[in-house]
Structure 1
Amino acid sequence: MSDPLRRVRLGISGTPRGLAEWVPALRAVRADVVGVADEDLRAARAAARELGGEGFTSLQDLIAAAPGAVLVASGPALLERIQEAVGAGVSVACVPPLGALPEQLESLARDAEAAGTVAMPALLHRFHPAFAFVADTTLCGDLGPVVQCRCDRATRADLPLPESPEEAARVLEAEAGPSLDLCRWWQGEVLSVSADIALGPRVHGEPFANLICTHPAGASVHHLLRRSRRAAPEQYLVEFASASLSVRCDVRGECQIILCRRGRRPEEITSRVPAAPPPKVAFLDHFLDCVQGAGQPKATLHDYRRIAEILVAARISSRDSAKVALPPVHAHAA
């Protein structure tokens, strides 16, 4: 970890609604907010009064205030704002969904590397202690090889279901992106995708998207998206040859982990998860460490490019009713 006394000048770009859920984390980390940029100057000034610094109407003006890094949290033209920060030589943390094509993300990742800046997507499941515990348990091999995983996620009832392929792309990135990245972390790269994506109205509780991803060693992961009338937990089931791990994570981020071994009673093992800061705090702390040269990013735009590739393959698979193989992974994207 870097010296906790060192603080980073941080600029923030985003709408008030998108920034609201980040306020507690921003107050908890070693950052001094120098300003907030939003097209609505009144909103930017209101956010700045809460977080610190000045209000700006453009990211360019915010960058002129010489922040050491920028958090791009929400709002229109998000990808363009990330590009603007990288082009100015400023490290940037960006909050998904990014709404970018794989080739755009790859180009942006290379630009950041060439500029010597950190460009880190907020893949928050990587910073959740319960999911890190499952990753360690899975990778250590004590329970044997993984046979299959199931990821079940319910969207909000007020979230419009996709009526077109373009809308489906946006919904899938926002709702399936986290679990796709999580299973890449747990199981390694996705080799192929089979998907069934339904457009138009669906009955509550009925899946509107089912993605089946094949990982190395033959393990498959089922990603189910359904609509719910009320907030529902994310649910993950990791099946081994003679055991399984069940993870339920509620909307507040609190998780329960159950271990089931063949021939034994289910055992709750949540207490084995080490204490850790909330994911947003852990992410920002790690980002600031990387900005100060005290760590290597746990999540990169190469990782997010891979998520985008999986989602493109899923749309093609659903359209053509066929399994789609993914392109091989470059060494830097592993």
Structure 2
Amino acid sequence: MEPLRIGVIGCEIARMRYHAALVATPQLRVTAVTDPDPRLARIWARQIGGRPTVCADTLDLLDQPLDAVLITTPLALRAQAIADALRADLPVLAEVPFALHLADMDDLLVLASRSDRLLMPALPRRFDPSFRKLHQLVQENALGTPEQLRCTWGLPQETDLPSGDSISGGWNAHWQFLACQSLDLCFWWQGEGFAVSADMEMAQLIGTPHPRGKKAQADALAILLVTHPHGRSIHQFMRTLSVRPEERYFLTGSHGNAELIAGVGASTATNLPLPYLTLQRVGEHASRVSVDLTPEERALSPSAIRIRRLLQHFAACVRRQEEPEIGPHTARVALDAVHAAYVSACEQNKVSLPLRRFPDIAALLCRFQGVRKALPKGMG
């Protein structure tokens, strides 16, 4: 079977997150690329191989003979690129969040429904073997009723950040991307939330520089508390001085708990095989839970494995060999909770889900320009 011809809109993020997985996915072949920076598009076209066409802009790319589109543009341009691809009658795999505003997000969902075209959010952790194994444990009631999930993200100060202004790029865009991933997992394991409380360092999210002479230090970006039908989830995002990202999940149930370490950070032994999943039932010792990998996957990084599996599922859905496991509603629910976190942090109260009004995130952030809001004691 011939590989699907895929066009990539936005080469900066695609090169960083998708390159290794695309090279290892024979079901897809990149045949056209475009980027707001033509130089980035030319460089990545040479690196990805296959001599893809370097297009002048999104509309030029959509005129090429394509079977599907991967959209990884900067956040400010993403909604328009998704809309253009759907109007061109092409299946779309897109980075999350889809848009800066919930109103634009809803317009995309209506457009996808009317065009009857696949619009799939890029949530690769749902396809990671270890994350799926943990989901299986939850579904099989191995932990009992899920009561609390704690998600910890340690982000190196030197993280490569998306381009754009202080609202649509930098730490703010990167945090929204990570928060969508983290919140989607808690909804997957615990059911959709119905309230969000948050403390956020708005000045840090919009890149306010440290006072002159002050050295970079570990900072808390955000802490989210989400209430679910059975318990709650806590999401903590930190900027750290470590050179390695940390990503950990600790799920407590009525009959036991499970811990999944996806990134080692500075506090975990570097020789730990990742991801590392352990299960401890009440009255028993903790034991490691193994997962199966294919021979091809053993040569890839955990990130490349999960993205490769996402790409394989997307290709199978485009060919109508599989039904989509995730759709645009999944991305909508996660973004609703992200925006609720901004509102909660500004109004300093709990916010119910779904939101009844669409907040202007840019306006909320600008209110905190240059103002550093301290997190409560014991939460940093």
- TM bracket, shorter-chain basis: 0.7 to 0.9
Partner of 2:274: 254
AA partner of residue 266 (structure 1) = A
Task: Give the structure-2-normalised TM-score.
Answer: 0.77
CA–CA separation in structure 1 for the residues paired with 2:257 and 2:104: 38
AA partner of residue 170 (structure 1) = A
- Higher mean C-alpha displacement, 15-24 vs 197-206: 197-206
Structure 2 CA distance for partners of 1:204 and 1:267, relative to 1, 3 Å: farther
Task: Give the structure-1-normalised TM-score.
Answer: 0.87
Superposition deviation, residue 136 in structure 1: 0.9
Partner of 1:43: 40
Superposition deviation, residue 192 in structure 1: 0.6
Q: Is this contact kept in 1: 2:155–2:240, CA < 8 A?
A: yes
Deviations 1:80-104 (A, max 9, x none): 1111111111111112344432232
Deviations 1:174-199 (A, max 9, x none): 23221101111111111111111123
Deviations 1:15-62 (A, max 9, x none): 245424312221222123221112343432333333332111112111
- Higher mean C-alpha displacement, 45-54 vs 284-293: 45-54
- Higher mean C-alpha displacement, 151-160 vs 196-205: 196-205
Structure 2 CA distance for partners of 1:209 and 1:242, relative to 1, 3 Å: same
Q: Is this contact kept in 2: 1:40–1:57, CA < 8 A?
A: no
CA–CA separation in structure 1 for the residues paired with 2:37 and 2:317: 31
Partner of 1:215: 228
Deviations 1:196-226 (A, max 9, x none): 1123469844533111101113x10000111
Query: Aligned pair 1:154/2:154, yes or no?
Result: yes
CA–CA separation in structure 2 for the residues paired with 1:312 and 1:305: 11
Partner of 1:58: 57
Q: Is this contact kept in 1: 2:89–2:117, CA < 8 A?
A: yes
CA–CA separation in structure 2 for the residues paired with 1:168 and 1:205: 14
2:326 corresponds, among 278, 299, 313, to: 299
Written as runs of structure 1 = structure 2, the 5 A alignment for 1:140-219 is 140-158=140-158, 170-200=173-203, 204-205=217-218, 207-217=220-230, 219=231
Q: Is this contact kept in 1: 2:157–2:240, CA < 8 A?
A: yes
Q: Is this contact kept in 2: 1:125–1:279, CA < 8 A?
A: yes
Structure 2 CA distance for partners of 1:165 and 1:22, relative to 1, 3 Å: closer
CA–CA separation in structure 1 for the residues paired with 2:310 and 2:179: 20
Partner of 2:236: 224
| SS of residue matched to 1:77 | helix
CA–CA separation in structure 2 for the residues paired with 1:264 and 1:111: 51
AA partner of residue 258 (structure 1) = T
| SS of residue matched to 1:250 | strand
AA partner of residue 334 (structure 2) = I
Structure 2 CA distance for partners of 1:113 and 1:197, relative to 1, 3 Å: same
- Higher mean C-alpha displacement, 25-34 vs 301-310: 25-34
> What percentage of aligned pairs have identical amino acids?
27
1:11 corresponds, among 2, 7, 32, to: 7
* Matched residue count: 319
| SS of residue matched to 1:259 | strand
CA–CA separation in structure 2 for the residues paired with 1:145 and 1:323: 24
CA–CA separation in structure 2 for the residues paired with 1:47 and 1:265: 48
Q: Any unmatched runs of 5+ in structure 1?
A: 330-334
Structure 2 CA distance for partners of 1:103 and 1:140, relative to 1, 3 Å: farther
CA–CA separation in structure 1 for the residues paired with 2:315 and 2:97: 21
Superposition deviation, residue 297 in structure 1: 1.7
| SS of residue matched to 2:354 | coil
Q: Is this contact kept in 1: 2:82–2:92, CA < 8 A?
A: yes
Deviations 1:70-119 (A, max 9, x none): 11123461221111111111111112344432232222122112212111
Q: Is this contact kept in 2: 1:117–1:291, CA < 8 A?
A: no
Query: Aligned pair 1:264/2:284, yes or no?
Result: yes
Q: Is this contact kept in 2: 1:238–1:244, CA < 8 A?
A: yes
Partner of 1:332: none
CA–CA separation in structure 2 for the residues paired with 1:172 and 1:239: 25
Q: Any unmatched runs of 5+ in structure 2?
A: 205-209, 211-215, 266-272, 298-304, 357-380
Q: CA RMSD in A?
A: 2.6
Partner of 1:275: 293
